[in-house]
Structure 1
Amino acid sequence: MNDSLHAQGARFRLPRPLHPLAWASWLAAIVMLLTLTRNPLYLGMTLGAIALVRWRWVSAADEAEQVLSLSPWRFGLIVVTTAAIFNMAMVRVGMTVIFTLPAWIPLFGGAWTLEALLYGALNGLALTGLFAGFTVINRVVPVRALLRLIPRAFYPVAVVISIAVTFAPTTLQQIQQIREAQAVRGHRLRGVRSWLPLAVPLLEGGLERSLQLAEAMVARGFASGSERTERWPQLLVLAGFATVVVGWLLQLVWKQPMWGGGLLVVGAATLLFGLWRAGRHHPHTVYRPEVWRTRDWLVTAGALLVMAAYLLPVFDRNTIFYYPYPALSWPGFDWRIGMAMLGLLTPALG
């Protein structure tokens, strides 16, 4: 029994926290991968990596205290089933017919194929992976740490986002407090009318919090209208963004990988430099700065390895794109891309 307790304690001994930028790079790799591929083999590897990282970082206590009542696995069950049935009902392409409805039935009449069912399920798996990846970030990285990653040139946007993302948790916490206070007074929720003692204090508390927040922001001089001395950093940001779009179009539409890749690199560098330069006009101090450690380099390198394997024309990128129409076929697999995808497991190490 002591051995089992020791094993459980070792499982829930969380690793040392990672830098928010390392987590952001890991999430960017997840989003890019799940956006590009519908290969079931690569999707399965991605979901397995997310599950392992979640198992390693999210403890049982965090699972019990999770505000969201919908876990990633319940979400996946609902979304995969819904997407598969919806795609099979809407798409009339495929050679493997499961059954056929009369053609006179509007919208649903015709052949329901296995290919459409599979492709809808793959889209649902991609959405499930995105949801699971964001839930991992939500559990392991504080909102305040994520907001620090926003360029300093957009600090008003960061403040507005921080207010928006904390609104729902604060409201849920206030609802729980009001319900507990009403329960002490003997009040029970039985119908629509019984919700009135809950709605009125909730509205009053929300208005009071809004007024206090507005007064605090005015007292701290939020968006007080500082003088703008330089325009060229903003022009650099716009030019970099336009260059990135042109490079992306050259790669995907006009099939010019060399010119497109070069413009992507130049545009990204110009965009980052413009944001850095614009942020110099908004200096700020941090009470407790985040420390960049060796494991952060490892996680970032793993994420960059995955993105390079998918974006650069080094490996067989044809295996990334899987399309089950018009007839089912076995998906391709490049072992080099599979090895590169092991970089998604780096947050689970240590």
Structure 2
Amino acid sequence: MKHSLHPGAWWLWALGLATAASRTTNPLLLLLIAAVAGYVVAARRTDAPWARSYGVFLRLGLLVLGIRVIAFTLLGSPIPGTHILFTLPEIPLPEWAKGVRLGGPLSLEGFLFAAYGALRLAVLLACVGAANALANPARLLRSLPGALYEAGVAVVVALTFAPNLVADAQRLRSARRLRGRSEKGVKVLLTIGVPVLEGALERSVNLAAAMDTRGFGRQADVPRRVRLTTAVLTLAGLLGCCVAAYGLLGADGAAWALPLLGIGAVAAAGGLLLGGRRAVRTRYRPDRWDLRAWLVAGSGVAVAAGMLLCGPAYADILNPPPVPLTAPTLPLLPAAVVLLGLLPAFVAPAPVRRSVAKAKETRK
């Protein structure tokens, strides 16, 4: 614990970068956000199995980008354009499919509009992958408030499945490489796909069963009115936060979404505090939220808040219109705000490699 950071700080940092990415379709800013996330991951991730999942999220983002571009090429886009790249044979459709087009001309304006939207989704996946690579999922679940202990056993399966999946896939590929067999191709993917999925799910379920055996979801008896108040506050607060987050994604939702987000956060916090009275489980060596955790989480919050504040002044630059066709420019102030996300690479504790730790123990 001495050389580790609270996992919640990494998730707040990553969600701040994801919020900034959701506010723009400027490819230069999106690539800058992805570069910031990648640099921090390269500087501060460990060699644990779950830390290797970042590359999988990057490949998934590239897959999403390719699917979006191919779908746009085949189905077309309502975005008008004057720069026609090429024209595909158009397939006639029945009358009930009016408005849907297969083939036809492909304009550069529409193509860039689709590519920018897909790039934003790919960067969002990269931010989530950064959080998965930097935050220990087991420690994150151990830091859950008492009101969420009931869902902890189910959540642990979801949060540990992807890291275990990556670790099992790399283990099987290494085994095939040592035996002199091919590790690439569709046939190899079909051969190792089922064992990888089965092994990752089995390890996640075993971890959940171990948590259940140790009394992870054990509860104390509290009055019925306290349970009802806890459920109402938690549910209303989380729903308010979800609606507010959806409103913040829109161009004109900040006026009502920010107050709703504050009210929802207060209600959810009250529900979690009341729900903590039902928890009877103690924590062994709990993670401490120290100054470095505040700096890491604060950098992500600063990036998100800065992009929200820059939105009205840089509306046409953050979200360039597809028509008329113009080259994207990099705004200096939003770029400087994004660069605040590099702070964890310098203030977060340096990762302790397990190989180095074993070498030190051997010398002792």
TM-score (norm 2): 0.69
Match of 1:188 in 2: none
The answer to whether the 8 A contact 1:101-1:111 is kept is yes
**2:24 pairs with one of 13, 23, 37:** 37
AA aligned opposite 2:156:
S
The answer to whether the 8 A contact 1:233-1:278 is kept is yes
Structure 1 residues 207 and 243 mapped into 2: Cα distance closer, same or farther (>3 Å)?
A: closer
Aligned to 2:282, the other structure's residue is in SS state: coil
Once residues 290 and 246 of structure 2 are traced to their aligned partners in structure 1, the CA distance between those partners, rounded to angstroms, is 37
Match of 1:27 in 2: 14
The answer to whether the 8 A contact 2:143-2:287 is kept is no
Answer yes or no: is 1:287 the counterpart of 2:284. Answer: yes
The answer to whether the 8 A contact 2:53-2:129 is kept is no
**1:91 pairs with one of 77, 93, 97:** 77
The answer to whether the 8 A contact 1:57-1:140 is kept is yes
Q: Which runs of 5+ in 1 are unaligned?
A: 1-14, 185-191
Answer yes or no: is 1:153 the counterpart of 2:147. Answer: yes
Once residues 20 and 63 of structure 2 are traced to their aligned partners in structure 1, the CA distance between those partners, rounded to angstroms, is 22
CA apart distance, 1:252: 7.6
The answer to whether the 8 A contact 2:27-2:328 is kept is yes
Q: Which runs of 5+ in 2 are unaligned?
A: 94-100, 180-186, 348-364
CA apart distance, 1:127: 2.9
CA apart distance, 1:149: 4.1
Structure 1 residues 136 and 42 mapped into 2: Cα distance closer, same or farther (>3 Å)?
A: same
- More divergent stretch after superposition (317-326 vs 19-28): 317-326
**2:67 pairs with one of 78, 82, 87:** 82
Once residues 71 and 238 of structure 1 are traced to their aligned partners in structure 2, the CA distance between those partners, rounded to angstroms, is 30
Bigger RCO of structures 1 and 2 (CA < 8 A, at least 6 apart): 2
Once residues 28 and 119 of structure 2 are traced to their aligned partners in structure 1, the CA distance between those partners, rounded to angstroms, is 11
AA aligned opposite 2:306:
A
CA apart distance, 1:77: 4.1
The answer to whether the 8 A contact 1:115-1:324 is kept is no
CA apart distance, 1:43: 0.6
Once residues 291 and 65 of structure 2 are traced to their aligned partners in structure 1, the CA distance between those partners, rounded to angstroms, is 38
Structure 1 residues 217 and 84 mapped into 2: Cα distance closer, same or farther (>3 Å)?
A: closer
CA apart distance, 1:307: 1.7
1:160-171 to 2 correspondence within 5 Å? 160-167=154-161
Answer yes or no: is 1:126 the counterpart of 2:134. Answer: no
Once residues 205 and 77 of structure 1 are traced to their aligned partners in structure 2, the CA distance between those partners, rounded to angstroms, is 24
CA apart distance, 1:46: 0.4
Match of 2:268 in 1: 271
Structure 1 residues 331 and 206 mapped into 2: Cα distance closer, same or farther (>3 Å)?
A: closer
Once residues 281 and 87 of structure 1 are traced to their aligned partners in structure 2, the CA distance between those partners, rounded to angstroms, is 52
Once residues 314 and 40 of structure 2 are traced to their aligned partners in structure 1, the CA distance between those partners, rounded to angstroms, is 26
- More divergent stretch after superposition (35-44 vs 324-333): 324-333
How big is the alpha-carbon RMSD for the aligned residues of Structure 1 and Structure 2? 4.5
- More divergent stretch after superposition (42-51 vs 266-275): 266-275
**1:235 pairs with one of 232, 236, 245:** 232
1:61-210 to 2 correspondence within 5 Å? 66=52, 70=56, 72=58, 74-89=59-74, 90-93=76-79, 94-104=81-91, 107-167=101-161, 173=168
Aligned to 1:109, the other structure's residue is in SS state: strand
AA aligned opposite 1:327:
P
The answer to whether the 8 A contact 1:147-1:158 is kept is yes
- More divergent stretch after superposition (323-332 vs 154-163): 323-332
TM-score (norm 1): 0.72
The answer to whether the 8 A contact 1:95-1:326 is kept is no
Once residues 246 and 164 of structure 2 are traced to their aligned partners in structure 1, the CA distance between those partners, rounded to angstroms, is 42
AA aligned opposite 1:84:
V
Deviations 1:107-161 (A, max 9, x none): 4232111122212222332233233223332232211112134332121211112
Once residues 246 and 174 of structure 1 are traced to their aligned partners in structure 2, the CA distance between those partners, rounded to angstroms, is 37
- More divergent stretch after superposition (46-55 vs 244-253): 244-253
Deviations 1:156-186 (A, max 9, x none): 2111121344456668759969x97xx99xx
AA aligned opposite 2:273:
W
Aligned to 2:285, the other structure's residue is in SS state: coil
AA aligned opposite 1:266:
I
CA apart distance, 1:283: 3.9
Once residues 239 and 205 of structure 1 are traced to their aligned partners in structure 2, the CA distance between those partners, rounded to angstroms, is 34
Answer yes or no: is 1:326 the counterpart of 2:323. Answer: yes
Once residues 305 and 221 of structure 1 are traced to their aligned partners in structure 2, the CA distance between those partners, rounded to angstroms, is 38
AA aligned opposite 1:340:
V
Structure 1 residues 144 and 204 mapped into 2: Cα distance closer, same or farther (>3 Å)?
A: closer
Aligned to 1:37, the other structure's residue is in SS state: coil
Aligned to 1:112, the other structure's residue is in SS state: strand
The answer to whether the 8 A contact 2:244-2:260 is kept is yes
Aligned to 1:38, the other structure's residue is in SS state: coil
CA apart distance, 1:245: 6.0
Aligned residue pair count: 322
